[in-house]
Amino acid sequence: MSAVRRLVLASGSMVRARLLRDAGLDFDVVPSSVDEDDIKRTQQGLDTESLALVLARAKAREISQIRPKDLVIGADQILDCEGARFDKPKDKTEAASHLRRLNGRPHRLVTACTIYCGCSEVWKHESAPRLTMRSYDESFIETYLTRAGDGVLTSVGAYQLEGLGAHLFDTIEGDYFTILGLPLLSLLAFLRTRGLLVL
């Protein structure tokens, strides 16, 4: 196989890009156009872990077809609370509904990440951090959503742990980077094997 030219993030997520950038990586951003809603509809019978991996693979595979010599990162997260799956809220009203349903309860943030090269999977990682929301009232939800702004619409749980979202939780079990969107430590370990890191 010819030498890998570039690392490519098949996602428009600013958080994922920031994690890679802050770790000193040089990469291109080429967001996938995969229809996630269609995949979720056609794969309803899959468990949450399998569905997250199917979505991550679809994103990486799509971009790998146009960047076959490069390492393409695809990732996906699905919030699972006692069997109910949450998508990113469409607006503040739906974000408030999410927060009410999660209030005082634990949930899993099922995360899948994969890397494709030459349209074949060369690495994958799956994990499911467990997060428990603290109990809060309607006044807190209103204040939180007002102060947090539209950023909550980019998170499946209507929270951003790296910001005001930290106030929502009692306990967190799992890797911080994974919760933000990428299993960064495992990803870096793999990239070292490909000679893409200087550290």
DSSP run (H or E) holding 56: helix 48-66
Query: What DSSP state is assigned to residue 109?
Result: E
Is 47 one of the catalytic residues? no
Helix axes 92-102 and 138-148, enclosed angle (nearest 10): 130
Q: Name the catalytic one among 76, 80, 150, 170.
A: 76
Dist. CA 170–CA 159, nearest whole Å: 14
Dist. CA 31–CA 35, nearest whole Å: 12
Contacts 24+ apart (CB under 8 A), 138-146: 141/96, 141/99, 141/100, 142/96, 144/99, 144/168, 145/92, 145/95, 145/96, 145/99
Question: CB–CB of 177/162 below 8 Å?
Answer: no
Which residues does the annotation mark as catalytic? 76
